[in-house]
Amino acid sequence: MATNTFIAFIRGINVSGCNKIKMTELQQLFIELDFKNVTTYIQSGNVVFRTNLEELDKIEQQIINGIKQTFGYLVQVIVLTKKSLETIYVSNPFLQDPNIDITKLHVTLLSNKPNENDIIPLNTLSKNEDTFIIIDKTIYLYCPNGYGKTPLNNNLFERKLKISATTRNWNTISKLVEISNL
């Protein structure tokens, strides 16, 4: 029986009609890759699964290769352990403010820990009320006017930090924590 629970965050599928993959087809691919207890959540490429494998980079590469071979798309994938996702969930510094609107919270997951020299110039980019806090390989983002209106988006973080990233809203992160505990 597969003992380790992981969550795959697939970047760039089903966005604005590009790189379309039905979640039933994605789930089937994960099963064909020999992952167990595969559950997808919404159309943006979130997959909870179990495996005996332990090396995140090998799991990520296996998923990237599977998507490329099956669907013809070269995408970025960030895989987290259940424990890592739970740590991200309980460590959100914005949740300490009781007046925060959690519908305006987002999490940007980074493929690697960013270089300190790349973070420093980012600190000048907070606009209006939009703000972010970087902890390890996670950017906690608060956009009170909506994520669609902030310049602090996934593409900006990737460009400035020179690493892959993918962003999810707080509701998605919360739901994936719940699913991973089933």
Q: What is the pLDDT of residues 104-149, one digit of tens each?
A: 999 999 999 999 889 888 877 766 689 999 999 999 999 999 998 8
CATH number of the domain enclosing 23: 3.30.70.1280
Phi, psi dihedrals of residue 19, rounded to the nearest 5°:
50, 55
- Say how many residues make up the chain: 182
- Please tell me whether residues 94 and 74 are part of one structural domain: no
Q: How far apart are CA 135 and CA 95, in angstroms?
A: 14
The radius of gyration computed from the CA coordinates of the chain, to the nearest angstrom, equals 16
Last residue of a domain, one of 82, 103, 136: 82
Domain count, the chain: 2
Q: How far apart are CA 37 and CA 31, in angstroms?
A: 8
Q: How far apart are CA 172 and CA 182, in angstroms?
A: 16
pLDDT at 26: 95
Query: Containing domain of residue 115, as a range?
Result: 85-169
Q: Are strands 131-135 and 165-169 parallel, antiparallel or unpaired?
A: unpaired
**How many of the other CB atoms lie within 10 Å of CB of 165?**
25
CA-based angle 78:79:85, to the nearest 5? 110
Most confident option among 17-26, 88-97, 124-133:
88-97
Q: Which two tokens stand for residue 90?
A: 């309980």
Residue 1: which pLDDT band, with cuts at 50, 70 and 90?
low
11-15, 79-83, 93-97: segment of lowest average pLDDT: 11-15
Last residue of a domain, one of 82, 116, 135: 82
- Please tell me whether residues 89 and 160 are part of one structural domain: yes
